[in-house]
Structure 1
Amino acid sequence: MKRFGTQSRLFNQIFLSHVLIFAIPFIILSAVVYYNAVVHFKSEIESSNLYKLTQVRNTFDLFARGLDNSAARISIDPHLRPFAVKDGIYNQMQAIEEISKYKANNAIIDDLALYFHGDNQLYSSSGLTTLETFTQRVYRFTDLNGQSLADQLNAIQLPSIRRAQVQLSGSENVQNMLTYMFPIPRNSQSPYATVVFLIRESMLTDLVGPILGDFNGSVYIADQDGTIIAARSRETDLNEQAAAQLLTGHDEEGIRDITYENERYSMMTVKSEMTGWSYVVMMPASQFFGRVLEMRTFVLIVCAAVVAFGIATAILLSSRQYRPIRKIAEYARPLAGRLQGSEEKRGDELDLIRDTVWVTRDLMEQIDVQRPIVREQFFVKLLKGALRDAGEVEAFMQREKLALAGKSNFVAVVSMEGSDYVSTQNREELLRILGEVELPEAVGHGVEMIQDNAIVILISISAGEGTRGQQKSIAEKIALLFEQCIGLRPVIGLGTIVSDLLQTNRSYIEAFAAIEYTMRVRKGDIVFFDELSQWQENNWYSVEEQIRLVQSMKQGNKEAAATALGNLLNDLRGKDVSLFYLRCMSFDLINTFLRTINELQLKIPQEHRQGLTEFTTLEQLGAWMSSLIDEICAHVNANKESKNNELGDRILDYIRDNYKDYELNLEKISDHFQMSISYFSRFMKDQTGYTFIEYVTHLRMEEVKRLLKQTDIPIKDIVVSVGYADVPNFMRKFKNSEGITPGQYRKMN
């Protein structure tokens, strides 16, 4: 029953998953339809109307500029000066003719009139008439008489527009007429006349009317005081009085949604900087939704059919997919336990598979990031003798597809000690080439040893046992690569050839020993380890083992030093000499220890001094020397760790001093500390726990927060001052880190 219950729960989960798979298209389709049919459709209409309004505004600004120019020309026209116009009937007729010409040059005006302050008559293209006649007979104003018109004309100081109702001659219909009045001369504290342009409102509404297109709504033009001077509506309940109230509270440019008497409107506004007029379109928001109801209904029907089909299909697929999923889960359960270190049983198979996939994916991502570092560390461990399992070495090489299949291997060491300055670009190019380099009948893998200031290449000869001649040709190829990349031909030390990869530590120590004897060679020479014995005068025991012992202790390799000491003591045991000579040989070996201790600037503890001088057997001497090897190697390793910590502190100090520099990057800091970018990245992470980018970002972020809290420097200037040129990118980083924007952070603190 328990097994059946688990199956039923898993089956239900599978069934629900399939139902969701078929439900997702429905949700996405509905969202897309809604957005495109309503939101996007509404946005397009608003943007289109806003563009049309802008064109209308530009057109009206052009008309207003033309009227303004006409008024300016009238003010300086000698035929229209007060003393000229009033000087006889002939001059009056000439003035009327001039006014008619100005009217003809302005297509949008219905009439043009000139009024001199204090008179009771005005001059227009229709002739010379009294104000009363003009308002009651010529245009038949319904809300304006001669006296009120005179008051307006005498009081005007700035250009203004008024709206009035008129009955045109020969018609009983009431129309709106706009009186656009300009004082002359312009910008005068005491104008002597007023130019009046009479414009039918229909001239303006005919231009703004097409903005609505097929939609219902209203178009308004309001002056700088918010008074509506022209309007056109189509099937809307919004009257001019209500529109005037809305305009008063929402006179900013742009698009906004407003509500009036529980009815939502979309309001689009543009303003003229020249005249101060506002051009407004208002549309009921409901009509945008009405256009898509039919399409939405059709889509809902289709989606419902899809859901019904999906449910039926989900039942069929769930029953068929349950069994293979369970088999996968049975395989994944032990794998998940190994990856997560837990044998806890999951709720169901899908949870188990999901967790296993996530853990495996995370591990693969970490492996991809760490792969170059892992390969480099593998070679370092192999060279230093830290790897003892042949199966582990073989498995790693197969997994990483490393070409080290040859039976003959040896190590070449290229010392960078005393070399001239090498740029980061050249160093990176050299390490890239040596990472896996094809050599004559061999392949090499190079790694950088910053502590020893050297580059070490592990070389595997493709076929054969390997000869001294092959070693030399390979070394010459490496020297040529160095010369091409960094412009110098270095001294190269070569260890002896070994057949087993696990023995490369021996060749590694020998190659370093060969480098230490470069005082006997010239710059650019190739030094073989087996040549060193020819330079030594001692023939009491193996000179090669003596050199391996010294070099192993200098590198802090306790295991290799112990092996070399054992070989030396066995060599001494095999000597058929008197006890006196045997002690002399032993003291020569002791001197080897003393010279190494002196080079490393160590002090010999008192008990070791006694042990090295009062031994009676080689076993006693070996025990004291083994103890001394432990102390020497411990000192060397501690010194290396101290130097690493010191270098780590120097790096952090350098970054803290220069993190505000926009040009601070991996290449620049690697060049400053004379190491490769890859080595610096690994060292930074190992020694400080931070990557370079993480640490710099942390310092810059903290400095930005400090400046936001303690200063009122603009945010953009703060971001630039800490080394960021891309301000928007930093804003995103800050919000991801702090959860709020820099502006909000400043307000909160």
Structure 2
Amino acid sequence: MFNWSKKKSKLLYKYLFSYLLVFMLPFITISTILYHISVGKLEKEIIRSNMDKIDQIKDMTDTRLSELNSLATKISYDHRLTPYMLTEPYYDQQAIEELIRYKMSNSFIDEIFLNFNESKDLVYSSKGTSTFHTFVQSTYPVKNKDIEALNKGMQIQSNPLSQIIDIASKNSNGKRVIAYSYPIPIQSSSPYGTVTFFIKEETLSKLMKNALGDFEGNSFIFDADYNLFASNENGVQIDLDFVKNISANNDGNTHKDFKNEDYSFSIARSQLSGWTFVSVMPTQQFYGKMTSLKYFIFMVLLGLAVVGITVVCYLSFKQYKPIQNLAQYLGNKEQMNHSKKQSNEIELIRTKIESIYEDSEFLKRKIIAHKPFVRAQFLTNLLKGEGKEHQDIIALANDLKISLRGDSFFVIAVSYKGKIKKQETFTYWKKIVETIHEISHEECCGYGVELVHDYTAAIIVNIKDDSSNWNESRQLFSHHLIELLKKHCSILPFVGIGQIYKEANKINRSFIEATASIENDILHHETHAIFFEDLSIDNDETIWFPEESRLKFIQSLKQGDRVVAKETLAEILDSLAQKKFPSYMLKCTCFDLINTVLKTIAELGIEHNPEEVKRLSDFQTLDQLKESATIFIDQICLEVEKRKESHNDQLRDNIMEYIQKQYKHHTLSLEMISDHFQISSSYVSRFIREQTGITFTQLVWKLRMDEFKQQLVNTNRTIKEIVLDIGYFDVSNFTRKFRKEEGITPSQYRKYHQQNRDDQKAL
């Protein structure tokens, strides 16, 4: 059916065996439990049935005895059965008839008779009046050994009394009766007589006849002193004293061994009479009754096992084929990649899945940890003009949960450049950074990012496509931003606003314009937001190129944005080409443009090569000037980028040096570093992650761990002293984290490394 190699066949057998094991273990467990539950339940039901029958006999007996109690009460208050009525010749016959009616009203009673204290020798029964001697000799013959006991029972003065009386008459077939005597009146402190009921033993035996059902066994009724009242034997010979002992010391259902045979006892006690009701049967009878059930359950489970094994084998063969194909595919990939071959298909798949899972988890952690940085980096790249196509930018923004709902954008630059003079102003700056993180107002949504250079931040604002007036939306959003800044800062920052551009990949143009507006704001000391297009108002009459273009060109050079710089240069030269200037005037304008470049270089402090300046000024046409200026722009922007990188490197070195000095202080925090370097804590966190690849917390933990290990191995200081020295107060928490990371406790780490060091010295 399948053409597999021997190696793969072994794997298939293991695979098949695993499926069988998975099926058989729960199947056997469940089958065993089901079997024992079914058999055990039947056994319990049989025992419970026997117990119910014993309880039923007990309840019926209690009911009958309660009826005797009620009957005795009625007799005690019956005026026709008073001593006077029974002794008067005229009324004695009525009294006898009344006793007969009482006897006939209860089938449980074999005889009823009265005895009064004032005439102790007389007995009044349903058969008439006689002396006690005549009663026990002729009327109801009692064996001599029980006559005295019966006489005493008929004269009780307190609680009811039950006695076992042997009858000697042939008519009673030598049976026994139970004499149940009540003092009358019932519960009286001064009884005047006794009413006695005779109950035949065979009456109780009939009640017990169905106690065992079809089982062989015996049933017994004992009084409070464990004297046998009645019994019913059915094919089981068992010692009566053994039954009494078990009945006296146990209750409910129990199993006991007698002469190497196990017997089941069902024991019930009456709270009313104090009698004990017992049934005894061999326990093995249960299993005889359960043989058919066991056989049926066994056959059903066997059938299920056969069907289950058949299905498991079929599914194993069927499902192995895709696994084999997958293993072959991965094996071919491994071979192509010259990877290490795995021992079998399962191992190959497992290794591959583990590798994919680990890569996935690693990437997930990286994404989560870098998300703030990625967001900031994404916004920064948009400001630099390093974004991709518009649709790609929108897709990436959606992944970062940045909602760009339209294709119209502008940038607002916020800066404290020149205003940061004291700690209070820096506090305002931190509030500004928090405020501009994300701002929404009517049809605009802005996302802010901090730029560490000169305490400047930028807000990229997106306008909805359905906005009725983009310029009005821009003004309303700008006004809303100014109001937010006023709430948090008594010293307002400079605010510059770039023009609106279509598509996200042109955001850097608006950013350059916004920063150019700030430059103009600083020069003119304005206190309100400056829109870039307003910069040209004072230059309408100039014969030179537009002032806003000059500012935009200068700012693009300062930002190192060669794309915008070249684009602005081209716009300036194209505008000059379209104007009908005299040649000398055009020459002067071009030199003014060259002078703007040189002044910007001087402001940036960039050294220039005189030969390059000479080549820049030695032009004959606008195209030659554009070509030379483009080369010069590339050099300037490259130098600006290098300075930014150098600034970042210097900042990184300063921050790392500061952390190296302060990491042992428990007060070290992002806020502490932020205050020291006068930059926001969010920027510090993002900057450390960007420069080191780990978070601030991870960096401090690593430094403290390295120091802790060094002191642990090379000093004799206690663990608590070292933990406190590196900046922790909670020793137990540090120890728990250490063990989680290293897999051993600090004490074990110290012992292990000191032992290795001693071994090396010994060598």
Return 387-396 or 621-630, whichever deviates more: 387-396
Residue 678 (1) aligns with residue 682 (2): yes
Q: In the alignment, what sits opposite 2:436? A: 434
Q: Which of residues 738, 745, 760 in structure 2 aligns to 1:741?
A: 745
- 1:589 maps to a residue whose letter is L
Residue 379 (1) aligns with residue 379 (2): yes
Q: In the alignment, what sits opposite 2:706? A: 702
Question: Which runs of 5 or more structure 1 residues have no equivalent in the other structure?
Answer: 30-303
Say whether the 8 Å CA contact 2:394–2:404 is kept in structure 1.
no
Q: In the alignment, what sits opposite 2:494? A: 491
**1:517 partner SS:** helix
> Post-superposition shift, 1:523?
5.6
Residue 510 (1) aligns with residue 548 (2): no
Distance 1:353 1:423 in 2: 54
**1:571 partner SS:** helix
> Post-superposition shift, 1:720?
0.7
> Post-superposition shift, 1:498?
0.9
Question: Aligned pair in 2 of structure 1 residues 520, 636: CA closer, same or farther (>3 Å)?
Answer: closer
- 1:458 maps to a residue whose letter is I
> Post-superposition shift, 1:528?
0.4
Q: In the alignment, what sits opposite 1:356? A: 356
Residue 630 (1) aligns with residue 634 (2): yes
Residue 661 (1) aligns with residue 669 (2): no
Residue 618 (1) aligns with residue 616 (2): no
Question: Aligned pair in 2 of structure 1 residues 316, 579: CA closer, same or farther (>3 Å)?
Answer: same
User: Could you tell me the TM-score, scaled by structure 2's length?
Assistant: 0.55
User: Could you tell me the TM-score, scaled by structure 1's length?
Assistant: 0.56
Question: Aligned pair in 2 of structure 1 residues 309, 415: CA closer, same or farther (>3 Å)?
Answer: farther
> Post-superposition shift, 1:584?
0.6
**2:413 partner SS:** strand
The number of residues matched between the two structures is: 473
Question: Aligned pair in 2 of structure 1 residues 312, 642: CA closer, same or farther (>3 Å)?
Answer: farther
Q: Which of residues 724, 727, 730 in structure 1 aligns to 2:728?
A: 724
Deviation sequence 1:194-228 (CA, Å, 0-9, x none): xxxxxxxxxxxxxxxxxxxxxxxxxxxxxxxxxxx
**2:448 partner SS:** strand
Say whether the 8 Å CA contact 1:422–1:486 is kept in structure 2.
no
Residue 394 (1) aligns with residue 397 (2): no
Q: In the alignment, what sits opposite 1:542? A: 546
Return 483-492 or 349-358, whichever deviates more: 349-358
> Post-superposition shift, 1:414?
0.8
Residue 446 (1) aligns with residue 442 (2): no
Distance 1:581 1:12 in 2: 95
**1:411 partner SS:** strand
Residue 408 (1) aligns with residue 408 (2): yes
Kindly report which structure 2 residues correspond to 1:525-564, keeping only aligned pairs within 5 A, or say none. Answer: 525-536=528-539, 538-564=542-568
Distance 2:311 2:424 in 1: 68
Say whether the 8 Å CA contact 1:681–1:691 is kept in structure 2.
yes
Q: In the alignment, what sits opposite 1:173? A: none
Say whether the 8 Å CA contact 2:494–2:522 is kept in structure 1.
no
- 2:436 maps to a residue whose letter is L
Q: Which of residues 599, 603, 613 in structure 2 aligns to 1:609?
A: 613
> Post-superposition shift, 1:637?
0.9
**2:634 partner SS:** helix
Kindly report which structure 2 residues correspond to 1:581-592, keeping only aligned pairs within 5 A, or say none. Answer: 581-592=585-596
Kindly report which structure 2 residues correspond to 1:165-180, keeping only aligned pairs within 5 A, or say none. Answer: none
Name which one, 1 or 2, has greater alpha-carbon Rg.
Answer: 2
Q: In the alignment, what sits opposite 1:259? A: none
**2:436 partner SS:** helix
- 1:445 maps to a residue whose letter is Y
> Post-superposition shift, 1:312?
7.3
Question: Aligned pair in 2 of structure 1 residues 425, 590: CA closer, same or farther (>3 Å)?
Answer: closer
Distance 1:427 1:308 in 2: 79
Question: Aligned pair in 2 of structure 1 residues 319, 654: CA closer, same or farther (>3 Å)?
Answer: same
> Post-superposition shift, 1:620?
2.1
Question: Aligned pair in 2 of structure 1 residues 621, 706: CA closer, same or farther (>3 Å)?
Answer: same
Q: In the alignment, what sits opposite 2:459? A: 457
Say whether the 8 Å CA contact 2:467–2:473 is kept in structure 1.
no
**1:725 partner SS:** coil
Question: Aligned pair in 2 of structure 1 residues 369, 710: CA closer, same or farther (>3 Å)?
Answer: closer
Deviation sequence 1:352-406 (CA, Å, 0-9, x none): 4554344334323322322222222111111210013233213213433432122
The RMSD of aligned alpha carbons is: 4.1
Distance 1:695 1:24 in 2: 51
Deviation sequence 1:283-312 (CA, Å, 0-9, x none): xxxxxxxxxxxxxxxxxxxxx999999977
> Post-superposition shift, 1:678?
3.5
Return 633-642 or 659-668, whichever deviates more: 659-668
Distance 2:514 2:503 in 1: 17
- 1:625 maps to a residue whose letter is A
Distance 1:564 1:388 in 2: 20
Say whether the 8 Å CA contact 1:416–1:455 is kept in structure 2.
no
**2:453 partner SS:** coil
> Post-superposition shift, 1:449?
1.0
Say whether the 8 Å CA contact 1:410–1:494 is kept in structure 2.
yes
Distance 2:715 2:408 in 1: 68
> Post-superposition shift, 1:443?
0.9
Distance 1:25 1:343 in 2: 40
> Post-superposition shift, 1:616?
1.8
Distance 1:366 1:24 in 2: 43
Residue 471 (1) aligns with residue 484 (2): no
Distance 2:485 2:22 in 1: 60
Question: Aligned pair in 2 of structure 1 residues 323, 597: CA closer, same or farther (>3 Å)?
Answer: same
> Post-superposition shift, 1:526?
0.7
Question: Which runs of 5 or more structure 2 residues have no equivalent in the other structure?
Answer: 31-300, 755-763
Kindly report which structure 2 residues correspond to 1:145-544, keeping only aligned pairs within 5 A, or say none. Answer: 315=313, 318-319=316-317, 321-322=319-320, 348=345, 350-351=349-350, 352-417=352-417, 418-419=419-420, 421=423, 430-462=432-464, 463-464=466-467, 466-519=469-522, 521-522=524-525, 524-536=527-539, 538-544=542-548
Distance 2:640 2:685 in 1: 24
- 1:558 maps to a residue whose letter is R
Say whether the 8 Å CA contact 2:373–2:690 is kept in structure 1.
no
Return 610-619 or 720-729, whichever deviates more: 610-619
Q: In the alignment, what sits opposite 1:295? A: none
> Post-superposition shift, 1:614?
2.1
- 2:440 maps to a residue whose letter is E
Query: What is the identity percentage for the equivalent residue pairs of Structure 1 and Structure 2?
Result: 35
Question: Aligned pair in 2 of structure 1 residues 556, 20: CA closer, same or farther (>3 Å)?
Answer: farther
Say whether the 8 Å CA contact 1:408–1:465 is kept in structure 2.
no
> Post-superposition shift, 1:587?
0.4
Distance 2:436 2:714 in 1: 51
Question: Aligned pair in 2 of structure 1 residues 639, 8: CA closer, same or farther (>3 Å)?
Answer: same
Question: Aligned pair in 2 of structure 1 residues 664, 2: CA closer, same or farther (>3 Å)?
Answer: farther
Q: In the alignment, what sits opposite 1:147? A: none
- 1:410 maps to a residue whose letter is F
> Post-superposition shift, 1:416?
2.7
Distance 2:430 2:623 in 1: 50
Deviation sequence 1:521-580 (CA, Å, 0-9, x none): 556401000111224474322333222211111011112111111222222222222221
**2:457 partner SS:** strand
**2:678 partner SS:** coil
Distance 2:568 2:577 in 1: 14
